[in-house]
Amino acid sequence: MRDRVLAWLADNVPHSRLQHIIRVEQMSIELATLHNLNCEKAAVSGLMHDLAKYFKPQLLLSTARQEGLELDPVDEENPHLLHAEVSAIVARDVFGVDDEEILQAIRNHTLGRPGMSLLSCSVFLADSLEPERGNTPELEALRQESRQNLYKAVWRTCDYSLKYLIATHRLIHPRTILTRNWAMQMANQKQGQAENNKNLMPT
């Protein structure tokens, strides 16, 4: 399957994008290993996350509509944002992927989604933080956070993206904000549980 996907990608994305995809696949596996997730699912999700990255805007829109997806006005203005959803459709229809957790991880890798699985969190983070994205102190801190706490890393990575979008006067998709708020709540909840457990430990 991997060889088949790589051959398809070689025909449908530039070489530089293929290298990015392989790095996302690798980082997805690394995060899955660290957080005791299914490494095989992480590998497939990472490898297939950008199948539709270079589809034309009209094809992205028409495919999304045929699938019955609910489109936000920001999607209409920036059809490129739909490449995650359409990549999941390609994974299902071209490569026969029927594991819903994998398909969701592909769908959620760009904008995230409140309530997404830890596998989705891992692929979302791998796409944003793979090594060639840069080596600024802020990115290195996010990478370190992704190894420690997936929810906190998703929250902080959303903050990072939002700052960039505001600074460059871009439209912000509502799901980015919803994902950020959800991940912050999950991180705080997890921290609260850890503190409660610590307080319950015998002295």
- The full 3-state SS of 36-68, as one line of letters, equals CCCHHHHHHHHHHCCCCCCCCHHHHHHHHHHCC
The predicted-structure confidence for 136-146, as pLDDT tens digits, reads as follows 999 999 999 99
- Mean pLDDT confidence for 18-23: 98
Q: pLDDT > 70: what percent of the chain?
A: 95
Q: Give residue 198's pLDDT.
A: 65
Dihedral of the alpha carbons of 147, 149, 150, 154, in degrees to the nearest 10:
-110
Q: pLDDT > 90: what percent of the chain?
A: 93
pTM given for the model: 0.94
The predicted-structure confidence for 97-155, as pLDDT tens digits, reads as follows 999 999 999 999 999 999 999 999 999 999 999 999 999 999 999 999 999 999 999 99
C-beta separation of 118 from 185 below 8 A: no
Domains of the chain: 2-200 (1.10.3210.10)
The predicted-structure confidence for 36-73, as pLDDT tens digits, reads as follows 999 999 999 999 999 999 999 999 999 999 999 999 99
Dihedral of the alpha carbons of 149, 154, 155, 158, in degrees to the nearest 10:
160
Q: Give residue 45's pLDDT.
A: 98
